[in-house]
Amino acid sequence: MPSPLALNTVSTSTTHDPKLARQLVLDELFDLSLYKALRAVTQLDVHHTLDELIRVETSHLAFWQKFFNLKLNELNLGRQIKLSAMILVCRIFGSTAVHLVLEAIEVHGVRKYLALWREYEGKPLGEALRGILMDEFKHEDVLVTELTKRKINPERIRNIFLGLNDGLVEILGAVSGFFGAFGSATTVLIAASTTAVAGALSMAAGSFLALNSEKEVKTTELAKKVFLGEESEVSPMEESPIGSALVVGAAYMIGALVPVLPVLVGAKDALFSVMTAGLMVILVSTVLSFLSGMDVKRRILLNLAIISVAVSVSYAIGLAAKQLWGIAV
C-alpha cells in the first residue's frame, strides 16, 4: 500500500474546512520554524536529531500545502510569540529544555493527528493523516531514545510542576478558609504556614515511599533474572528516592508560598492571595499542558475552575465554623 503522503491531493475549496486547513498548515510551519531556530542556538550533538525533524517537517508542510491547495509562508502573531518564548526558554535552560520542548511538540502532534484521524477515518483526509501519524510515531521513538541517552526524565519534570500546582491550590484553599474562620492575618499566616510545611513533608514522604517500593520490586526482579540465568529487560532505577522526595517537597512548598506571600506582606483578606494564585495557575497550567500535550485553554480553565471551587468551599466552611463555634481571634 503506498504511503498516504504519496496520494493524489485534493483541493480544500470544496471538500475541507478552510479553518482546519489553515490550522494544519500553520502548525507544520510552526514546527518547522521551531526546529530551524533551535538548530541555530543548540550544540552540535543535537543537530542530527533536528536535521531529521526538519527534513520530515519540510515534507509534511509541502504535503499539506498541496493537499489543501493553501500556501502559507508566515506564522500568525500568536504562533510568532509562542515561537519566541520557546526559543528564549531553550536559550536559558539549554539542552534539557530543548529535548523537553521537542518531546512535547511531538506528543502534542500525535494527539492532535490521532483525534483528527478518528474523525475523518475512511475519508481522503483520514488517509492522509495516517501517513503523517506514522512519521510522528517515528519522531517520538527517536526523541524518547535521545532523552533516555541523556538521562532526562520528562515525567519527573512534569511531577515538579504538578507539585507546584498541588501546593498552590491546597494552600490557597487553606488561606481562604482560615480568613473566613479567623479574619486575623497573623493567625492565618501561622495556620497556613504550618499547613504548607505539613503538606510538603507529606508529599515528600509519599514520593520517597513510592520510589523506594518501586526500587525494591525492580531489585528483586533483577535478582530473579540473574538467578535463572535469563537476560533481563528490567533496568535498575537511577533516580534516588531521597532526591525525588526533596524535589517534590520543595516544589510543593514553592507552590504553597504563592498564596501565603500576600498575607506575609500585609494582605488583610484572601483577595490578593486569590489573584496571585490565579496568575501562577495560568503559568503552571500552560507549562503542564505543553509538556503533556493537552489543550492549553482547557487546562487553564479547568485549573481556574478548581481553585474557584476550592476557595469558595473553603471560605464558606471557615465562615460556617466561625458562626457555629463562635471563633474569635
Instruction: Annotate 107-139 with DSSP letters as a single string.
Output: HHHHHHHHHHHHHHTTSHHHHHHHHHHHHHHHH
User: What are 248-278's pLDDT values in tens digits?
Assistant: 899 999 999 999 999 999 888 888 999 998 8
Is the pLDDT confidence value at 10 over 60?
Answer: no
Q: In which domain, by residue range, is 219 found?
A: 154-325
In angstroms, the CA 100 to CA 42 distance is: 13
User: What is the rounded average pLDDT for all residues in the chain?
Assistant: 82
For residues 241 and 129, membership in a common domain is answered with no
165 and 145 both lie in a single domain: no
Same domain, 196 and 284: yes
Please tell me whether residues 240 and 143 are part of one structural domain. Answer: no
- Element housing 295 (H / E): none
Q: Can you tell me whether residue 234 is helix, strand or coil?
A: coil
Q: For residue 57, is pLDDT > 80? A: yes
User: Among the three residues 149, 167, 185, which one is the final residue of a domain in this structure?
Assistant: 149
What is the model's pTM? 0.65
Which letter does DSSP use for residue 293 in this model?
T
85's grid cell: 518564548
Task: Please indicate, yes or no, whether residues 188 and 277 belong to a single structural domain of this protein.
Answer: yes
CA distances from 312 to 128, 163, 257, 328 (A): 48, 22, 20, 21
Check: CB of residue 68 under 8 Å from CB of residue 16: yes
The domain boundary, picked from 149, 184, 217, lies at: 149
DSSP assignment of 69-83 equals T----S--HHHHHHH
Task: Write the DSSP assignment of 13-68 as a string of letters.
Answer: HHHS-HHHHHHHHHHHHHHHHHHHHHHHHS-HHHHHHHHHHHHHHHHHHHHHHHHH
8 Å CB contact between 119 and 111: no
The torsion of the CA quartet 263, 269, 275, 281, rounded to 10 degrees, works out to 60
Contact 163, 252 (CB under 8 A): yes
Q: Which residue has the cell 482546519?
A: 20
Amino acid in position 30: F
Residues 220 and 187 in one domain: yes
d(CA 80, CA 74): 9
Say yes or no: 63 and 130 in one domain. Answer: yes
Verify that 140 and 163 share a domain, yes or no: no
> Measured between alpha carbons, how far is 237 from 219 in angstroms, rounded to an integer?
9
CATH of the domain at 142: 1.20.1260
Verify that 108 and 201 share a domain, yes or no. no
How many Å apart are CA 202 and CA 116, to the nearest integer?
Answer: 42
Query: Does residue 162 share a domain with residue 140?
Result: no
The single-letter DSSP state of residue 182 is T
Distance CA 216, CA 292 (A): 28
Please calculate the CA angle 9-109-168 and round it to the nearest 5 degrees.
155
Number of domains present in the structure of the chain? 2
Residue 285 identity? S
Domain termination site, one of 100, 131, 149 = 149
* pLDDT on residue 96: 75
Range of weakest confidence among 9-18, 79-88, 170-179, 298-307: 9-18
Whole-number Cα distances in Å, 187 to 167, 201, 260, 322: 20, 21, 12, 14
Q: Do residues 133 and 221 share a domain?
A: no
Same domain as 169, residue 263 = yes
Q: List pLDDT tens digits, range 180-229.
A: 888 888 999 999 999 999 999 998 898 888 888 888 887 787 777 777 77
Q: Which residues of 224-250 are buried (b: 16+ CB within 10 A; e: fewer)?
A: eeeeeeeeeeeeebeeebeebbebbbb
pLDDT at site 2: 39
Cα–Cα distance measured from residue 271 to residue 263, given in angstroms and rounded to the nearest whole number: 10
Count other Cβ atoms within 10 Å, centred on residue 329.
Answer: 11
Q: Kindly report the number of other CB atoms within 10 A of residue 320's CB atom.
A: 13
- The arithmetic mean of pLDDT across residues 31-48, rounded, is 86
- Residues in CB range of 128: below 8 A, 6 or more apart: 4, 5, 7, 63, 67
pLDDT score recorded for residue 284:
81
